[in-house]
């Protein structure tokens, strides 16, 4: 799986750190204050996702590189989305700010995931950009931890 990640990095043409640096310049034209978090999906997590989706190619996974942009307000989130979608080809996959994703399973039944999920492309390779507010981020993280705990 590590070889697949290296192949992914080679085809996308940059490290995640380089993408974050580029995004920082784009975001700073939209808002004064933001935080960027990022990660490369671990080989184990990638293997599990590929097995679950019954796919063989790492290039069919949208979030090998995952970047989260945290801003102060929903209005700022949409401003950042506008700038990001101008700077990168891609599409808004989900608008969970306007239409929150309501959890139906315990332990977080009824709680709402709130973020914008933009799938961007570099050299034809997908990567995920999530945009959310600091308030929503805290809730989203709690929901994500519960989801991961429930999976294992």
* Residue range 98-138, pLDDT digits in tens: 998 887 776 666 777 789 999 999 999 999 999 999 888 87
Which run of H or of E encompasses 111? Answer: none
Confidence of residue 145 (pLDDT cuts 50, 70, 90): low
* Residue range 23-37, pLDDT digits in tens: 999 999 999 999 999
d(CA 125, CA 73): 30
Residue 77, pLDDT > 60, answer yes
Q: Where are the alpha helices (DSSP H) in 34-96?
A: 43-53, 74-87
Residue pair 117/100 in contact by the 8 Å Cβ criterion: no
pLDDT of residue 122: 96
d(CA 5, CA 9): 6
Any idea which fold 2-151 has? Beta Polymerase; domain 2 (3.30.460)
Residue 39, pLDDT > 60, answer yes
Output the CA–CA distances (angstroms, integers) from residue 86 to 26, 50, 79, 117, in the order listed: 9, 30, 11, 15
């Amino acid at each position: 799986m590590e070889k697949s990640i290296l192949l992914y990095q080679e085809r996308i043409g940059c490290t995640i750190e380089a993408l974050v640096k580029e995004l920082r310049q784009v975001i700073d034209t939209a808002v004064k204050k933001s935080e960027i978090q990022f990660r490369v999906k671990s080989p184990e997590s990638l293997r599990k996702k590929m097995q679950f989706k019954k796919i063989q190619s790492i290039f069919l996974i949208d979030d090998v590189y995952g970047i989260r942009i945290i801003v102060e307000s929903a209005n700022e989130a949409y401003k950042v989305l506008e700038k990001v979608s101008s700077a990168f080809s891609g599409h808004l996959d989900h608008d969970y700010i306007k239409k929150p994703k309501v959890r139906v399973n315990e332990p977080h039944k009824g709680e709402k995931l709130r973020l914008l999920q933009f799938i961007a492309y570099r050299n034809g390779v997908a990567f995920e950009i999530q945009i959310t507010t600091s308030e929503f981020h805290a809730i989203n993280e709690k929901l994500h931890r519960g989801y991961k705990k429930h999976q294992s």
